[in-house]
Copies of this chain bind each other. A is one copy, B any other.
Amino acid sequence: MNIDMIRAAAQRLEGHARRTPLLGSPFLDELAGRRLLVKPECLQHTGSFKYRGGRAALSALDPDVRKRGVLAYSSGNHAQGVALAAREFGAPAVIIMPADAPRSKIDNTRGLGAEVVLYDRAGGESREAVGERIEAERRLTLIKPYDEPEVIAGQGTTGLEIAAQAAEMGISQATMLTCCGGGGLTSGIALALEAEAPGMQVRPCEPEGFDDTKRSLASGHVQSNATQSGNICDAILTPAPGRLTFPIMQRLCGPGLAVSEDEALDAMALAWQRLRIVAEPGGAVALAAALIRKDEIEGDTVICTVSGGNVDPGVFRRALDRLDGGA
């Protein structure tokens, strides 16, 4: 796993993944107490950065293998990214999703032509058992959500863009806040910035109670979360940092940050109001840290990902309700 793989992924994604802009607002600068720039991957195809990793992984497969189809486990964003990439290559995709994933994510994954198999996350069913049976029967290739070099390489292309876009603005020093689940985006961006913008330090952001990466970085050993549900930040509720992603984060990242559900909702509302973008809760944790946990951050400039924007209207309405004059 190295920068050359990220650069190669960027070439394969050229003309496919969107080069999302780097947004900002004088109102958010004031709230953050420093210059704040946002990389809105909610504007990426399928509404999250996951399309980058999905397309990078699919495009790296041998065409004969790819033709047989792919399999993915996902609460929704990786599902859609893999589903669209598979459709673009004319390959079948089977996606194993928790039955309690946001309805829009399930609908969209099906809408992109994938076969969705639901499993009961809270109950006794093991998604691995379901997946392994289908994988073997149909000779599909498993595309892991983060612990897979080509997926990390695809997510890392976000970091190449950030480095180039910040340089165009004359920015070489910054704190880079990432929304962190299993660490695919975080480790990919960290590797890209190590090569292209070494003056930027990556700090992973997570929901309180699901801050496995923060605790793992602090302790120097992989720590797990007690549960995988029960928080609105559904996109980033992973059990623990990955086998591949953790050593990269350990080598390159600063301390993690954790935010509450209400802070994520506030960040969603501010992204709506000041950037006119739609963030989902898990995609808003880095912005929440930048705006609300600003005393825990150093430096004149902070860049953060808004990593996804796939959210059901009811949850979004809760964010709008928190705005002054929201009712």
Of the 9-residue stretches A93-101, A143-151, A317-325, which lies at the interface with chain B? A317-325
Tell me the chain A residues, 300-327 only, with Cβ under 8 Å from chain B: 309-310, 312-314, 316-317, 320, 323, 325-327
Interface: A189 (CB within 8 A) = no
Interface size class of A (residues with CB under 8 A): 35 or more
Interface: A21 (CB within 8 A) = yes
Interface: A276 (CB within 8 A) = yes
Which of chain B's residues has its CB closest to A19's CB? B21
Partner of A277, one of B278, B310, B325, B327: B278
Chain B nearest CB: distance from A60 CB in Å? 23
Interface: A138 (CB within 8 A) = no
Interface: A192 (CB within 8 A) = no
Interface: A91 (CB within 8 A) = no
B323, A313: Cβ atoms closer than 8 Å: yes
Interface: A104 (CB within 8 A) = yes
The complex is assembled from copies of this chain, and their number is: 2
Query: What are the residues of chain B within 8 A of A47 when measuring CB–CB?
Result: 276
Interface: A272 (CB within 8 A) = yes
Chain B nearest CB: distance from A209 CB in Å? 26
B23, A43: Cβ atoms closer than 8 Å: yes
Bound-complex Cα distance A42 to B271 (A): 12
Bound-complex Cα distance A323 to B26 (A): 32
Interface: A27 (CB within 8 A) = yes
Query: What are the residues of chain B within 8 A of A309 when measuring CB–CB?
Result: 276
Interface: A273 (CB within 8 A) = yes
Interface: A20 (CB within 8 A) = yes
What are 27 inter-chain pairs, A to B, with CB distance below 8 A? A20-B21, A21-B21, A26-B111, A27-B111, A40-B276, A42-B276, A43-B275, A43-B277, A47-B276, A103-B325, A104-B325, A276-B277, A276-B278, A276-B309, A276-B310, A277-B277, A277-B278, A278-B278, A312-B325, A313-B323, A313-B325, A313-B327, A314-B326, A314-B327, A316-B320, A317-B317, A317-B320
- Nearest 7 pairs between A and B by C-beta? A276-B309, A276-B278, A42-B276, A313-B326, A313-B320, A313-B323, A47-B276
